[in-house]
């Protein structure tokens, strides 16, 4: 059978995912592909998802979205990393910052030099060698050439979807408001032919993007793609989310604080704070979650906490037939490392690169699915690491995650790091050496040895080098203004 060229893309769902896809395809295939987005005013978006990672800046550049404009429109603040408190042990904390820690030598990564320095009596935290980590802790930020900080944003999810909607519609994306009630399949091929709205209208298309959120209307509801459940590794399945007013200056980082049977996020925006408690319902009930959340909020409540339930895992095929699942429809990993929105943008870029303009080729679908699986599994392992590499034994929850078997890929990584100080990452993995080493060390996985090549540097030189680098970081950061001062100058919304 001849291939059908893809001329009309139909996106179902107008949350952050739907509009990110519409903006990406609308911009890059403008004039060559029709883009239609369907969303229902009666079905709210998930309403959370406000912390991002630095790849967001690259997506905006690709789409030529003016940064200051989108930050102003979404009441955004800057983010240099995530502060993890009480994860390794109660009372400990560390920063997983977005930047480079120390410098990478041909001889080995920086952790080996840091490890040797410790042995020589230099008691300096790993994060003190990272610009972003030190700037975050001091609450300073600026976009400058020197020092150049790697950053992301905290933004208002509802306002962001609205911004992207206006952006997409200006590119010619057509929005239909209405509830999809029926998905029509081709009886011969099983492909999706069209979606029927409650008011009776049917919208046909060549390629469908399922951005309908946890419902996964097309990929699961119609195509029965199947779901791989990862709850045995990531037992949290519920979140209570609530907004509060501000109680102090917005810090340039996300806070992730571990509690007895879960953890809490705090995401500062210019005008409010997004909060939530993620927990495992098999270890704690809603009453505990509600109480724990309220006890640990700093500003005045804005509304009542809202329960969101989820199943951690992923759709078995992200691209199935002529339908691609993106956003929550494709699966869910808890927001511990703020990766969900990134996974949408990375899926869009994958689609833009492999776009089936001349028709859907099975080999391309297979490659798309292979890349999606590899990406999700790498992120999954990274998130599991935060739970598993703990010394906490104060509750059944922590005893479970500390002692549970983890994926072989992760087990190998932890052992490699603990025994040899080495980390290997695959070419397409999101988290690189800097991320893995900061979280391993932050969680208390300290390499037993350093690579012997470090001994090529005399002890005195190592100490001088480490002290010099730390002082250089501190000096560079001392030139930066307070975070809020920079926001006022660059992207304040009022």
Q: Are strands 319-320 and 238-244 parallel, antiparallel or unpaired?
A: unpaired
Residues 2-21 that bind ligand FAD (CB under 6 A): 12-18
Does 45 bind ligand FAD (CB under 6 A)? Our answer is yes
**Shortest spacing between CB 400 and ligand FAD, in angstroms:** 21
Residues 428-487 that bind ligand FAD (CB under 6 A): none
Residues 217-246 that bind ligand FAD (CB under 6 A): 217, 239, 241
Does 421 bind ligand FAD (CB under 6 A)? Our answer is no
| Residue number, 311 or 453, with CB nearest to ligand FAD | 311
- Please identify every residue annotated as catalytic: 79
| Residue number, 213 or 421, with CB nearest to ligand FAD | 213
Does 51 bind ligand FAD (CB under 6 A)? Our answer is yes
**Shortest spacing between CB 405 and ligand FAD, in angstroms:** 26
**Shortest spacing between CB 143 and ligand FAD, in angstroms:** 21
Q: Please state, as a whole number, how many other Cβ atoms lie within 10 Å of the Cβ of residue 264.
A: 24
Does 276 bind ligand FAD (CB under 6 A)? Our answer is yes
Q: Which of 9, 23, 34, 50 binds ligand FAD (CB under 6 A)?
A: 50
Residues 332-391 that bind ligand FAD (CB under 6 A): 335, 338, 340-341
**Shortest spacing between CB 344 and ligand FAD, in angstroms:** 6
Does 180 bind ligand FAD (CB under 6 A)? Our answer is yes
CA atoms of 202 and 95, how far apart (whole Å) = 50
Does 310 bind ligand FAD (CB under 6 A)? Our answer is yes
**Shortest spacing between CB 328 and ligand FAD, in angstroms:** 4
Binding span for ligand FAD by CB under 6 A among 50-58, 245-253, 355-363, 402-410: 50-58
Q: Which of 23, 48, 155, 379 binds ligand FAD (CB under 6 A)?
A: 48
CA atoms of 71 and 74, how far apart (whole Å) = 5
Number of chain residues interacting with ligand FAD (CB under 6 A): 38
Q: Which of 179, 196, 246, 433 binds ligand FAD (CB under 6 A)?
A: 179
| Residue number, 217 or 384, with CB nearest to ligand FAD | 217
| Residue number, 12 or 466, with CB nearest to ligand FAD | 12
| Residue number, 282 or 476, with CB nearest to ligand FAD | 282
Per CB under 6 A, residues contacting ligand FAD are 12-18, 38-40, 43, 45-46, 48-52, 157, 179-180, 211-213, 215, 217, 239, 241, 276, 308, 310, 327-329, 335, 338, 340-341
């Amino acid at each position: 059978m001849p291939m059908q060229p893809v001329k009309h893309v139909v996106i179902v769902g107008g949350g952050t995912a739907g509009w990110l896809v519409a903006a990406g395809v609308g911009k890059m295939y403008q004039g060559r592909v029709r883009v239609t987005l369907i969303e229902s005013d009666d079905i709210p978006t998930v309403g959370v998802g406000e912390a991002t990672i630095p790849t967001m800046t690259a997506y905006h550049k690709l789409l030529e979205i003016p940064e200051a404009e989108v930050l102003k429109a979404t009441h955004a603040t800057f983010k240099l990393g995530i502060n993890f408190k009480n994860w390794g042990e109660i009372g400990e904390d560390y920063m997983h910052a977005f930047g480079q820690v120390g410098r990478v030598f041909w001889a080995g990564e920086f952790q080996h030099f840091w490890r040797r320095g410790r042995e020589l009596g230099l008691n300096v935290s790993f994060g003190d060698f990272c610009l972003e980590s030190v700037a975050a802790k001091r609450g300073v930020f600026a976009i400058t050439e020197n020092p150049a900080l790697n950053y992301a944003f905290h933004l208002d999810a509802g306002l962001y979807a609205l911004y992207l909607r206006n952006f997409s519609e200006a590119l010619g994306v057509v929005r239909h408001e209405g509830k999809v009630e029926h998905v029509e399949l081709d009886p011969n091929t099983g492909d999706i032919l069209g979606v029927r709205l409650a008011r009776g209208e049917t919208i046909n298309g060549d390629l469908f993007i399922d951005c309908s959120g946890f419902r996964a209307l097309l990929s699961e509801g119609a195509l029965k793609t199947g779901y791989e459940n990862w709850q045995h590794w990531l037992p949290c399945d519920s979140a209570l989310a609530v907004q509060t007013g501000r109680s102090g200056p917005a810090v340039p980082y996300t806070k992730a604080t571990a509690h007895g049977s879960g953890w809490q996020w705090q995401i500062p925006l210019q005008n409010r704070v997004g909060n939530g408690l993620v927990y495992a319902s098999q270890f704690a009930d809603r009453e505990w979650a509600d109480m724990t959340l309220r006890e640990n909020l700093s500003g005045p409540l804005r509304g009542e906490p809202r329960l969101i339930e989820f199943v951690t895992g992923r759709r078995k095929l992200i691209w199935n037939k002529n339908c691609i699942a993106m956003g929550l429809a494709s699966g869910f990993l808890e927001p511990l490392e703020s990766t969900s929105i990134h996974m949408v943008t990375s899926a869009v870029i994958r689609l833009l690169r492999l776009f089936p303009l001349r028709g859907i080729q099975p080999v391309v679908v297979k490659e798309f699915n292979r890349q999606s699986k590899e990406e999700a599994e790498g992120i999954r392992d990274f998130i599991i690491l935060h739970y598993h590499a703990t010394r906490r034994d104060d509750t059944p929850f922590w005893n479970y995650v500390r002692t549970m078997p983890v994926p072989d890929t992760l087990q190998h990584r932890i052992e490699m790091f603990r025994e040899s100080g080495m980390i290997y990452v695959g070419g397409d993995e999101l988290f690189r050496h800097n991320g893995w080493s900061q979280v391993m060390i932050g969680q208390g996985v300290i390499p037993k040895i350093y690579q012997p090549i470090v001994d090529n540097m005399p002890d005195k030189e190592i100490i001088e080098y480490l002290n010099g680098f730390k002082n250089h970081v501190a000096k560079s950061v001392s030139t930066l203004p307070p975070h809020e001062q920079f926001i006022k100058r660059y992207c304040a919304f009022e």
